[in-house]
Structure 1
């Protein structure tokens, strides 16, 4: 042990120790600078902002910067087709040359969805249901019915639709709802002697609808033709009908 301690105090040990430390330091420096060179430390660029650009504009910008890209597509309502709606990495991220940028493009063709069962459900229940299927509520009209704000029927493009039918995502669905007043009755208006326009105005005020229109004799001027018969007819035995009841009329140009 005494000899080893004596050796540690010799000039030869000090020289060997310094040489070993220098060798290790040199190796570390070589490894450090080699790694910097291999990874091009400090060389790269910031990812550009691509959201909102068209597909062509985004690709041109990436090509100019020497960046690769991969494309996926989704359908987002109320977004123009063909634009970039998402990117990864985000704009401003520092990346190496030749890095792949992932783009999400809004597709032009809306996927189809299956129309859900909504008849006889409340409007409050139907609204989130349609939104969950990617559909929107269009026009709502009311029809005489004992149920209030309950869906009686649905239509798309003027055609009645039923549960299970396929529709493009984002379609607007028109609904007919019950007004909750189906059991109420109103007075039958007297329409005889009125024109069609006057009858429509009168029926609307009475919350009734115009039914079938038939003609008596030769009609030379339909605008001035007057009603000579209505069904149901106001009489002593019948003075009221349910809200929404259609009133059929007969028109004639003959003067009474």
Structure 2
């Protein structure tokens, strides 16, 4: 195969033109600035992706322990061992519950979470909550029952007392002790309402109120 001198000269000429174009492009301020900006953008993107991946720990996950039924002290040790945190967000009272035991958790047990995640806990209240009894004297039986039910008191004993006014409340008692409006008793307690029977005069109730007042004062 033979090369002509003219072909060789054309090739050399094209190479010189290419070199000349590259030299001009490199020496051009605008081209150099654009190239520098592109290079900086690539470097910044790489750094950002690196730190995002490190911060979010895409390749790492922790299984949340099942904490239901445990005491806070025991659960706290398990949570710390997993590099997690916890926060008690609510406390509830269940009649047959164990005081201080964990009732609910978010996220649930065996869920996969990231390092440092906070586990939100609901625990069993150690003491039964108290409610303030409203002033029920001279209220109707229906009204008194509605008010008590709204407070979580459903166990209500009715004791009839002589009165010309049927279903009129003359007093409320807790464990045999008369209560006045504003006094507090455990939620869910059993109370007794003294209610007029409508069959007789209520003049005898004056002494009844006096006795109740004296009993409470003592």
Give TM-score, length-normalised by structure 1: 0.53
Q: Which runs of 5+ in 1 are unaligned?
A: 1-9, 184-256
Taking a change above 3 Å as real, the CA distance of residues 72 and 22 of structure 1, as seen in their structure-2 partners, is closer
Question: Which position in structure 1 is the counterpart of 2:191?
Answer: 173
Instruction: Kindly provide the CA deviation profile for residues 76-130 of structure 1, in whole angstroms up to 9, marking residues without a partner as x.
Output: 353623222454x432765322333333322222344432201221232223322
Matches within 5 A, 1:36-55: 36-48=53-65, 50-51=67-68, 53-55=70-72
Compared with structure 1, are the counterparts of its residues 100 and 181 closer, same or farther at alpha carbon in structure 2 (3 Å cutoff)?
A: same
Structure 2 vs 1, CA of residues 74 and 20 (structure 1 numbering), >3 Å: closer, same or farther? closer
How far residue 32 of structure 1 moved from its aligned partner, in angstroms, is 0.7
Structure with the larger RCO, 1 or 2 (CA within 8 Å, 6+ apart): 2
Q: Which residue matches 2:135?
A: 117
Correspondences of 1:123-138 after superposition (within 5 Å): 123-138=141-156
How far did residue 156 of structure 1 move?
Answer: 0.9
Say yes or no: does 1:91 pair with 2:108. Answer: yes
Deviation sequence 1:8-37 (CA, Å, 0-9, x none): xx4353884566434422331222113212
Q: Does 1:29 align with 2:30?
A: no
- Return closer, same or farther for 1:127/1:94 CA change in 2, 3 Å cut-off: farther
Tell me what 2:76 maps to. 59
| Contact 2:79/2:85 (8 A) holds in 1 | yes
Matched-pair contact (CA < 8 Å) for 1:148–1:180: yes
Greater fraction helix = 2
2:126 is matched with: 108
Q: Distance in 1 between matches of 2:62 and 2:48?
A: 25
- Let me know the Cα RMSD of the aligned residues: 3.4
Supply the distance in 1 between the matched residues of 2:25 and 2:96 (Cα, whole angstroms): 77
- 1:141 matched to 2:153? The reply is no
In structure 2, the CA distance between the partners of 1:21 and 1:56, relative to structure 1 (3 Å rule), is same
The runs of 4+ residues in structure 1 deviating greater than 6 Å are: none
Residues 56 and 179 of structure 1: is their aligned pair in 2 closer, same or farther, counting only changes over 3 Å?
A: farther
Retained in 1: the 8 A contact 2:87–2:120? Answer: yes
Given that 1:130 and 1:137 are in contact with CA atoms closer than 8 Å, whether structure 2 keeps it comes out as: no
Partner of 1:156: 174
SS at match of 2:158: strand
Q: Number of residues paired by the alignment? A: 173
